[in-house]
Structure 1
Amino acid sequence: MKDRIAEAVVQEILQRGLRFSIRDVAGALGVSTKTIYQHFESKEQIVAYLVEQAVNEMRECERDIMADPELSTKQKLFEVLVTIPKGYAFGDLRSLLELKQMFPRQWAVMDEYLQMGWDNFRLLVERGREEEVLRPFDPEVFIGMYVGALNHFMDARSAVGRRKPLDRVLREMVGLLLQGVYTDRDGGPAASEEGETK
């Protein structure tokens, strides 16, 4: 039942954002609010559960990318940088902004992943330098630019954040950032105007 509740909450977030109510979720599932509270003590606990799931999904996705022998270092670098939760509970910039504003404790968990989960990136940068597909650069500067750009797009005043889904924004942003660190302009993923990889 816990997973059914979580799935229903994801659908509510997609429709209403994080302003959904427990009553909305119960109605969608055809159960009483009491049933929801048997599994989650509060709306905050539901959101915390979804954040934990999202972070775990992103970590698992990164592990799969790193272990994929079919991907080049450049491809792995691109894919690691555009990894988002598969469930899309937080797959758009609006929901991330609402998480930050309405649920600061839960946002702190997501933010810690965004700030600290860079080990695979650093490993790939080192590998890319050894393969001479990346020019020398300070990974910490790149990380600062990535996090800064993502925070900018999450801002409620950002026109881009209001009109494009998170996966498209990330693909376009990462494509542009990576072009500056490649040693050549061929062979790496690049973002088109539509935010898709070529």
Structure 2
Amino acid sequence: MDNQVYLKILKCFGAKGTRFTTEDLARELGTSKRTVYTYFSSKDEMIEKTIDFVFSQIIQSDTDILEDEGLPIQEKIRLYFQNIPDAYSIGTIIRHMDDFQRYYPRLYEKANHHLDRIWDGVIELVEEGMNRGELHKVDTVILKLMLNETLKKLLDYEFIAGHQVSFESGIKAMSDIVLYGLIKAEPL
């Protein structure tokens, strides 16, 4: 399926949440409702495949970093944090999680599952680095909690507008704090 279809679904979803209609999507695509139903059997399927599309892109780019045998762990971790997900796509999903929970509980669970696993690769790298003695020992449960909650806040429009921070600058600041800490290294 053409990625543009999923991007148009995200646009409709961003504008109307779960209340977008097949007619809205058909209008956005410049086609008929009948044509839309040749791609999808239901609105549930439209939303589900769009969720899969958004997270599969993130997972693929993260996997490329994780599987690069030529990179040291520290570089993989740095690149993982620079591999910023598309704020619009993932933000659209997070903004409408309440509607998912109310009207599409199965899709809510699916989106939540993806969100809970979004940092798994970097956590694996951190654990590997700690085991090799290349990284400081940290509580990875707390690290993952920090990453998850920061991501959710940075995708909250009211939060970023109220604090005059962009998603991208917030992710960079978070990654700098995680990677380089707060305390300057003592001169030798």
Q: What range is the shorter-chain TM-score in?
A: 0.7 to 0.9
**2:146 counterpart residue number:** 145
Residues 46-105 of structure 1, C-alpha deviation per residue, up to 9 Å, x if partnerless? 12111112222222112100122454322311333454556x6624x3x13323122233
**1:191 counterpart residue number:** none
Residues 136-166 of structure 1, C-alpha deviation per residue, up to 9 Å, x if partnerless? 1111111111122223334464135886554
TM-score, normalising length: structure 2: 0.73
Aligned length: 181
- Distance in 2, matches of 1:71 and 1:120, equals 15
- Percent identical residues: 20
The CA RMSD measured in Å over matched residues stands at 3.4
- Is the contact between residue 12 and residue 24 of structure 1 (CA under 8 Å) also seen in structure 2? yes
- Distance in 1, matches of 2:121 and 2:166, equals 25
**2:25 counterpart residue number:** 25
Q: Which has the higher helix share?
A: 2
Unaligned runs of 5+ in 1: 186-198
Unaligned runs of 5+ in 2: none
- Distance in 1, matches of 2:32 and 2:145, equals 46
Greater shift in the superposed pair: 176-185 or 102-111? 176-185
Structure 2 residue 101 is matched with structure 1 residue 101: no
What does 1:132-171 align with in structure 2 at a 5 Å threshold?
132-155=133-156, 157-160=158-161, 166-171=167-172
Change (3 A) 1:80 1:128: same
Change (3 A) 1:180 1:157: same
Change (3 A) 1:77 1:142: same
Alpha-carbon shift at residue 131 of structure 1 (Å): 5.5
